[in-house]
Amino acid sequence: MLLDAVARPARVCNIGWDLQPIDDVYSATLATLLTLADNDTPVCLIGAGGLALGAYLRFHCGCRVVEDPKDAAFGLICDPALASRAFGFPIGSDEYPDRSATVILQVTSLAGGPTRTIKGPGIRSAVKFAPIVPADFWTAWCANARLYPCGIDIIFTCGNQLAALPRSSRLEG
C-alpha cells in the first residue's frame, strides 16, 4: 500500500489492518515506520507524547531515535500544528538527492481540510487533496517543490489510511 501511495500521489490508501496503538500513533503511521525504518535509518520524533514509541522502534526496527531532524532519514510529526517542521529535515543535495528525508505527518483527517489541486508524476491530470494541515504547510510545500530533485517527501497518515506527497508533486492554483 505504501508503494501504491507513493506511485499515486495524494490518493488515500487503506492499509487494510490495524496495529495496536502506541503513544497515540495511528496504525498507518506504525505500519509505515515498521516498513521503512531499520538500523541504517535514524528517526526523529516530533510531537510524540511518550517514550514507548522510541523503545518500540528501537526494538522492532533496530533504528536510532535522534533529537535533531537534520540527523534523521525519517521523521514523524504527530501534531499537525507542527507540520511545517517537516521542512527542517535533510533535503539531499544535487549530487545525492536520495539522501533527503521522508516525513510521516499524522493528521486528523485526509479529506476534511481545504481542497488543494495536486499535479505531477503519477497523476494523470490532477487530483484533489484535502488533509487538515495549517495553511503555512502549503506555503512551505511550494518552496519544497521548487527544490526538486532535492526536497522532502511527505506521507500523511490518519487512522489506518495514508497518502503520499512526493517532492515531485506540485500544488496548483
Q: For the CA atoms of the chain, what is the radius of gyration?
A: 15
Please say if the pLDDT value at position 173 is more than 70.
no
CA distance 150 to 125: 23
Percent of the chain with pLDDT over 90: 90
H or E element at residue 158:
strand 153-158
CATH class of 2-172: alpha beta
For residue range 58-109, what is the model confidence (pLDDT) as tens digits? 999 999 999 999 999 999 999 999 999 999 999 999 999 999 999 999 999 9
Q: Strands 102-106 and 153-158, how do they pair?
A: parallel
Q: What is the pTM of this model?
A: 0.96
pLDDT averaged over the chain?
94
For residue range 5-44, what is the model confidence (pLDDT) as tens digits? 999 999 999 998 778 888 889 999 999 999 999 999 999 9
CA distance 67 to 42: 10
Least confident of 16-25, 117-126, 132-141: 16-25
Residue 49's pLDDT band (cuts 50, 70, 90): low
Decide: helix, strand or coil at residue 102. Answer: strand
Provide the CB-side half-sphere exposure for 112 (13 A, CA): 7
Per-domain residue ranges of the chain: 2-172
Q: CA of 89: how far to CAs of 62, 69, 77, 144, in Å? A: 21, 5, 11, 11
- Helix ranges (H only) for 1-79 are 2-7, 27-36, 52-61
- Helix ranges (H only) for 8-155 are 27-36, 52-61, 135-145
Please say if the pLDDT value at position 50 is more than 80.
no
